[in-house]
């Protein structure tokens, strides 16, 4: 397996030249665009690595499945449905014009910024710092890594320059979809996006979603299987921004990307995959990361379709 992964990384490094690192968050502009890494998590604790698999990067939108999961565990499916829908928007992840109608649950989903910001209000906690703390503990638990923490430089960079996310949050407020103080909600969201991980962390988190909430080694049920199915289905339709349909066709399994360059791939009942390659396409997806997952899917016949 390591040999296969090394070949995939070698073949895909060339694609980094076709993308660009995110610059709208100034701190992300400092990342080396030529990095490419991958990790696979299999049953019984087997893990395989290649490339820049030890590189640290921030989760960015890859944290959205965890925000959704925490909100599901705290508030339940019916409450989630009352705030956000599940249909793909066909729009960029940070767009304003989801439809010609007033903003409502029917035209946002948990994998776009507006939906994820709204879901932060459904996480329980006395303060938004407490809510983020519970979300961070969930990430640590699923990754099996108690050292996960926030990259403070990226967090401050996002907080200082996050005007568009502020506008989206105030749009939610204007339409009565959230009522909590915008800056507190956004602080939770910005901190969540700034959690620092490696490919290994993402592969382990993905593997638990692939096992429908059960730890692949201990078999402990960490969260209800129905919530894993909910998250995985949402990833299929919306996890790769407005490139989700193309990804489903060419790769064929649930996944979530982020502008930090990470992709978390969930192969139900088989494995979890974490990829990092920060050079992005126009949609905000990792160029080399998608190519690596395409090759991996073909070699191991991973498509669920």
Catalytic machinery residues: 61, 64, 189, 241, 259
Q: Give residues with Cβ within 8 angstroms of 188, minimum separation 6.
A: 120, 123, 128, 129, 131, 132, 135
Q: Is 34 left (phi over 0), alpha (psi -120 to 50) or beta?
A: alpha
- Reference 84, options 61, 65, 112; nearest CA is 112
- For residue 32, give Cα distances in angstroms to 19, 210, 221, 225, 260: 12, 30, 38, 38, 11
Q: How far is 195 from 98, CA to CA, in rounded Å?
A: 28
Q: How far is 249 from 77, CA to CA, in rounded Å?
A: 28
Q: Maximum Cα–Cα distance for the chain, whole Å?
A: 54
Q: How far is 286 from 199, CA to CA, in rounded Å?
A: 13
User: Cα dihedral sign for 162, 167, 172, 173?
Assistant: positive
């Amino acid at each position: 397996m390591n040999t296969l992964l090394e070949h995939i990384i070698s073949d895909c490094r060339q694609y980094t030249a076709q993308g660009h690192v995110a610059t709208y968050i100034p701190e992300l502009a400092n990342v080396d665009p030529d990095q490419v890494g991958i990790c696979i998590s299999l049953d019984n604790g087997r893990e395989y690595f290649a490339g820049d698999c030890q590189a640290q990067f921030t989760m960015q939108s890859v944290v959205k499945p965890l925000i959704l999961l925490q909100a599901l565990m705290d508030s339940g499916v019916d409450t989630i449905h009352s705030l956000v829908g599940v249909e793909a928007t066909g729009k960029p992840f940070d767009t304003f014009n989801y439809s010609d109608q007033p903003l409502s649950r029917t035209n946002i989903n948990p994998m776009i910024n507006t939906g994820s910001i709204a879901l932060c209000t459904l996480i329980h906690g006395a303060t938004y710092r407490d809510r983020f703390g519970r979300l961070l503990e969930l990430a640590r638990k699923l990754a099996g890594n108690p050292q996960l923490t926030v990259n403070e430089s990226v967090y401050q960079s996002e907080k200082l320059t996050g005007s568009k996310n502020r506008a989206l949050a105030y749009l939610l407020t204007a339409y009565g979809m959230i009522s909590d103080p915008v800056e507190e909600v956004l602080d939770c969201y910005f901190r969540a996006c700034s959690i620092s991980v490696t490919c290994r962390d993402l592969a382990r988190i993905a593997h638990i979603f692939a096992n429908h909430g059960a730890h692949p080694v201990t078999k402990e049920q960490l969260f209800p299987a129905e919530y894993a199915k909910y998250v995985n289905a949402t990833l299929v339709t919306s996890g790769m921004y407005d490139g989700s349909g193309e990804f489903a066709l060419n790769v064929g399994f649930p996944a979530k990307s982020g502008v930090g360059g990470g992709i978390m791939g969930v192969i139900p009942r088989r494995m979890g995959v974490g990829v990092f390659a920060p050079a992005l396409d126009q949609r905000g997806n990792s160029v080399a990361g998608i190519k690596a997952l395409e090759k991996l899917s073909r070699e191991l016949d991973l498509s669920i379709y």
